[in-house]
Structure 1
Amino acid sequence: MNLLRDADIDPAPLAGKRVAILGYGNQGRAQALNLHDSGIDVVVGLRGGSGSANEAEAVGLTTALLEPAVASADVVMVLAPDEIHAALYREIEPHVRNGAALGFSHGLSVRFGFVEPRADLDVFMVAPKGPGTALRSLFTEGKGMIAVWAVAQDATGGARDLALAYGRAIGCGRAGLIASSFAEEAEADLFNEQAVVWGAVPELLIAGFETLVAGGVSPELAYLECVGELKLIADLIEARGIAGMREVISNTAELGALLGGRRIIDEGVRQRMAQVLEEVRAGKFAAELRQEESGGYPRLEKARLKNRETLLEETYRRLSDAEG
């Protein structure tokens, strides 16, 4: 692994260049502010009537309508939701300067053909491995968030150096930048979202909670046991690794983990994980994402409403109110 840090990266390729940030959400806000604090000329490109304009300007950022923002920029960072990248790129492409750079923080839209960049453009990715809120808070603390970087198209011969300079400017060089590819990053990220952290782990917590409640345990205790301890294990893993985490918990917990873990996460789970990865690589998820967006997100809206009405969520609210 070639981990590049600030001292290894030349900031000059980004010096004097203007960066247009498209999308003022979780990553867009954080990256715009970090760039601004690093002395980079930043403009946030917004549609007319966007409620984000006042918010961005209130923290000292320059804003402009989408087309002039893009036309004025040397680097256009596409940080809007992945599923709208195709329509957004069609809209902005006539206004992107010849020889400019197009940047992303996720490989999905290039890997799966949502965006097919013009041949004269450099195309790079800097993908912080965490939410924008954490990217920003770490930056303000003088720290950084690890990120992966990649180049999909090097029209000018300078795409690599520009990508690294961008990663340095948003603070990721403080923690380290790891080389990857658009395909590797997209496939790994989509797999994780479905099969591990964002998909499987919450379902495991819900299943554990519901099993205890069905077995006669109070919802409050079931929540504290199955959900409340998640932060503890996450903090221990971050500090010590999985092996180190197991070595500092009690013998009771360690033996329970040894006897129970592989009964739940068995070979069948691993086979289904492999199937998820195969489907991701085949483009099945990317197609479903585009279909969901085109239909107005019906499955997501239905799931959000249903999730709010569960006993687990009611218990969470009760415990939160009691603590607050």
Structure 2
Amino acid sequence: MSASHDAPLQTLFLPFAHGTLDWPQGPVLFLRAREGWPPREHAATGQLVCVQSFRPFAQALERGGWEVRDEAALETTDARYPLVLVLPPRQRDEARALLARALERVAPGGVLVACQSNNEGARSGESDLQQLAGLGGKLTKNHCRVFWTAPLEGGHDEALRKRWAALDAPRAILDGRFHSRPGVFAWDRIDPASALLAEQLPADLAGHGADLGAGWGYLSAEVLARCPKVAALDLYEAESRALELARRNLAGSAAQLDFCWHDVTAGIDGRYDFIVSNPPFHTPAREDRPDIGQRFIAVAAQALRPGGRLFMVANRHLPYEQILNDSFGQVRVAAERDGFKVIVGTRGGRA
């Protein structure tokens, strides 16, 4: 997401730009933080403590000079902050849980400020914060809504906060076969595109493979279950919340596993015998981005050994044919169903 077009990030800082709220002197906690010019206009160097689980956003923050922590690291401290900023996600259970955890981090007399775009649940988010802790104010601009609490001195609904804080906790799904949590892709089901790809996996896959965009681990689990000659599998996933679930779901595998919190579009190291992928084609904000999937294909081709194969699934309409033909010696459509296509690309003798 371009910082210059990140409307929720810009709108989040509107109360401070207008003087409606005062910017504090001490450390400020920023949950689901994103890099851009608005925080740099207000925060001093080292003042923001940023929490971000999506690798491309985390790397952008680090390049901007901000301190970045993951959710697990935050849970090891009981620090409280005079200001907590939040960019809640679209999924409502995940958003409510994030607001509840944010509230727990507000110091006495502090303020919680959140912002969402109108098409990402802004009205629901405002209603949820009002129910949880009461509203001190709100503003609308850029097709977004920023809303905040009055200075907090207790008095919020602590029982509700505790219930909401657990709404996105990992839990068993699919009759206990896997664990997942609200907010990750296809969190409570097997994605039909991934299921179609799994059906096309040949049992003779062997050696060292990779899963690009592994999510909570379904495709990797299917590879290991269907292909006993696979000795090692590397899982690449940009969302750390999903990657930790994959680590849990694949525990006990006989194969050597490596879990990589990584942005695949930046390229990967290694030479693989095979790669499987259900690549994303949109950003976390649901912006349509087929170029992400195209980049996954190019990266896969570069990472395969000569003769290595890519097994990928995509929506039938996505424009992947040219990059596939440019990147692989042989390309074939292995299956089509319900608007999805499974494509197998075999790398030639040179990249």
TM-score of the aligned structures, taking structure 1 as reference length: 0.34
Bigger share in strand: 2
Higher relative contact order (CA 8 A, sep 6+): 1
Q: Which has the higher helix share?
A: 1
